[in-house]
Structure 1
Amino acid sequence: MATTGLTRGMGSFFKECEHAESRWSKCPHEYKIRYRNAAGRQTEESGFATQDKAKIRLAEVYHARKNSPQSQRKAERIQKYGVMHFSDYVAEWLKGQRDLSPTSLRNLDALLRNHLLPAFGSRRMGTFDHKVVEAFIQSMERNGIGMATQTNVFISLKTILLDAHRLGLFEDSPLDGVKAPQYDPKRAAIPSVTQLQQIRTAGDDAFRLVTDLMSGCGLRNGEAYAVNINNIVADDVYRVTEQVNQATSAYARLKHRKVGEYRDVPLPARTKDSIEQYADTYGTVDGYLLRNPKDITRAIPHHVIDSQWRKIKKSGLADIPEGMVLYGLRHFFASNCLSNGIPITDVAEWMGHRSVDVTFTIYRHLMPGSISRAAQLLDLGLAT
């Protein structure tokens, strides 16, 4: 089946028959046309006896679409934003990001200031395409930018360009075909069981409690700091409802969640004992266990535990894997789950990831399955 194109954006006409295009005018088969409708969806029509009738219909659709209020508004947006510098577009885009937490805004500002604005600040928005984005990713690789930073920078750029694409600035998304930076999960240093035991006993009771919550329940740092005894909703279930914001040291909604949303996670017996022992020893304020040392009516600031972690690493009191950060305790939780055959979909839910793809990308290498192992299991099933 051959197709013949017209002016860009008009679509094409064709015949679904065995005849060559040079014989279309003489063969008895009808012409068909293909075009994108006002909603951008590909549409086909058939029943055109001649090539001229097919072209006339394509022209009618094209001009109707071009003259529609929606198309005129799109043209106005392209005229306004297409020539706008990236820096100006980002400044306007940021005004609409009201749902971002203070920490997220601070991190986004750093990525813009250190990476995106130096690279694209004066670039006009209408000039982005996949080659521009690919070249930028390659430049980050050449400059030795850390993989985690590369990933975060790309996600921020992707969010901005997708917003521009929705406005109609690009016929084709400038992200089509772009290979995103791939986070290397092997760089995530995870302690062994023995190392974990040394780490959890190297600090004070608050540090031990945080260690048990992150390694036992998969909580993020800020979520562990917001531990509340009232969130033990069953002997083996802990309800994660909030976190301590790193920027404000105040309680805030969970990452990727709206205010009031929560997630339930498994509560191992040892972690439950740690929570209850700490509460019995130090008491609680409205159920909260970890408090600001200078004012128990306020949440514990991030720097209190972070400072202990740095001292423990420097002291050599614990055998800590090279390159491990405090977040490695959360990695231990994922490793413990996956190595014991717990489905990755459950692990993704408990860890609060936006999608299972995130969990799979980071922890795929921890999953015990392999092609050889799968073949053995399938063979056993076939033999029964």
Structure 2
Amino acid sequence: MASTSLIRGMGSFFKECEHPESRWSKCPHDYKIRYRNASGQQTEESGFANQEAAKSRLAEVYHARKNSPMSLHKAERIKKYGSMHFSAYTAEWLKGQRHQSPTSLRNTDSILRNRLLPAFGSRRMGTFDHKVVEAFITDMERDGVGLAAQTNAYIRLKTILLDAHRLGLYEDSPLEGVQPPQYDAERAVIPSLPQLHGIRTAGDDAFRLVAELMSGCGLRNGEAYAVNINNIVADDVYRVSEQVNQATKSCARLKHRKAGEYRDVPLPARTKHAIECYADTYGTVNGYLLRNPKDITLAMPHHIISGQWRRLKASGQVDLPEGMVLYGLRHFFASNCLSNGIPITDVAEWMGHRDVKITFKYYRHLMPGSISRAAQVLDLGLAA
């Protein structure tokens, strides 16, 4: 089946018969037309005796679509936003991001100020295409920007341009065919058990409690700072329901969770004992253990524990693996679980990962020899 195309966006006419296109004007078969309707769906009509009738119908449909209220509204959006500078567009876009947490908004603002606005601030929105995006990635590579920073900048730019694409600013997505920065998370740096013992005896009592919670229950930093004795829901279960938000310095919902949502995690006897001893020694405020030293009605600020961690690393008094950060205590929890045969799906749930793929990406290497073990098990079954 051959077809003859008209101007871009109008559609095409054709015949479904055994005759070549050169014979269409003389063969007795009717013409058909194909076009996209107002909702974008492909549509066919038949029964046209000649090319002029087919073309006339295509032109009629095309102009009706162009003059429809939907198309006119799209044209108004393109006129309004297409000439708008990237800086003005993102300022308006940010107003619609109320669903994001304060930390996410702060990260977005940082990426805009440091990466996107210097590169695109005065660029008009209608001028973006895949070449502009590719050039931006190339410039970051040339300037030695880290892969993690490249990825974060690209993701924010992608979100903004897709928002503009939904408004109809581009016929084709300006991200189509673009190869995003290839970021592979580095393997987690995890302390050995002797190194963990050293960390657990360093710093003040608040620091030691945080170390116990992160390594024993897999809590994130902010979740450990929000520890509450009332969250011990069973002798071996701790309920993680809040975290201290680094931006607001107050208790807030968990990462990737709605307000009021929680997760229950295993509570080792050692960690439970640490919580209870701290409560007995220092008391609690509405059940919360860690408070701001200057005002116990406020939550524990992030900088107090992170400052102790930096001083601990600088002092050299504790043996630490090269490149380890405080978050490595949480990695120890994952390592301890997986090396003892606990399913990775359970570990993902306890750590609060929204997708088990995240857990697998970071901790797959902590399950060495799984293929060999599987081969041995399968071999036993085959030999039976």
Fold match (TM-score > 0.5): yes
- Look up the SS of the partner of 1:72 in the other structure: helix
CA RMSD of aligned residues (A): 3.2
- Look up the SS of the partner of 1:264 in the other structure: strand
Structure-2 separation of matches of 1:255 and 1:290: 20
Q: Deviations over 1:148-178 (max 9, x none)?
A: 2222222211221121122111222222333
Residue 193 of structure 1 is matched in structure 2 by 193
Structure-1 separation of matches of 2:181 and 2:45: 44
Structure-1 separation of matches of 2:35 and 2:335: 50
- Structure 1 residues 182 and 275: CA distance shift in structure 2, 3 A: farther
Structure-1 separation of matches of 2:17 and 2:363: 51
- TM-fit CA distance, 1:379: 5.1
- Structure 1 residues 171 and 279: CA distance shift in structure 2, 3 A: same
Residue 304 of structure 2 is matched in structure 1 by 304
Match of 1:329, as an amino acid?
L
- Structure 1 residues 304 and 9: CA distance shift in structure 2, 3 A: same
Residue 271 of structure 1 is matched in structure 2 by 271
More displaced stretch, 234-243 vs 125-134: 234-243
Q: Deviations over 1:39-63 (max 9, x none)?
A: 44x4343655667466555445433
- Look up the SS of the partner of 2:186 in the other structure: helix
Match of 1:179, as an amino acid?
Q
Residue 69 of structure 1 is matched in structure 2 by 69
Aligned 1:163-178 pairs, distance under 5 A: 163-178=163-178
Structure-2 separation of matches of 1:275 and 1:175: 50
* 8 A contact 2:74–2:168 mirrored in 1: yes
- TM-fit CA distance, 1:316: 1.3
Match of 1:86, as an amino acid?
F
Structure-1 separation of matches of 2:363 and 2:49: 59
* 8 A contact 1:25–1:50 mirrored in 2: no
* 8 A contact 2:87–2:120 mirrored in 1: yes
Structure-1 separation of matches of 2:245 and 2:167: 33
- Structure 1 residues 144 and 371: CA distance shift in structure 2, 3 A: farther
Unaligned segments of structure 2, at least 5 residues: none
> TM (normalized to structure 1)?
0.86
- TM-fit CA distance, 1:35: 4.5
Structure-1 separation of matches of 2:2 and 2:294: 77
Structure-2 separation of matches of 1:220 and 1:234: 21
Residue 98 of structure 1 is matched in structure 2 by 98
Structure-2 separation of matches of 1:10 and 1:213: 65
- TM-fit CA distance, 1:248: 2.5
- TM-fit CA distance, 1:119: 0.8
Structure-2 separation of matches of 1:326 and 1:238: 21
Match of 1:189, as an amino acid?
V
More displaced stretch, 178-187 vs 71-80: 178-187
Residue 131 of structure 2 is matched in structure 1 by 131
Report whether the alignment pairs 1:282 with 2:311. no
Match of 1:220, as an amino acid?
R
- Structure 1 residues 20 and 238: CA distance shift in structure 2, 3 A: farther
- Structure 1 residues 16 and 363: CA distance shift in structure 2, 3 A: farther
- Structure 1 residues 308 and 172: CA distance shift in structure 2, 3 A: same
* 8 A contact 1:183–1:361 mirrored in 2: no
> TM (normalized to structure 2)?
0.86
Q: Deviations over 1:299-331 (max 9, x none)?
A: 111111011101110111222222222122223
Larger radius of gyration: 2
Structure-1 separation of matches of 2:50 and 2:343: 57
More displaced stretch, 223-232 vs 92-101: 92-101
Residue 143 of structure 2 is matched in structure 1 by 143
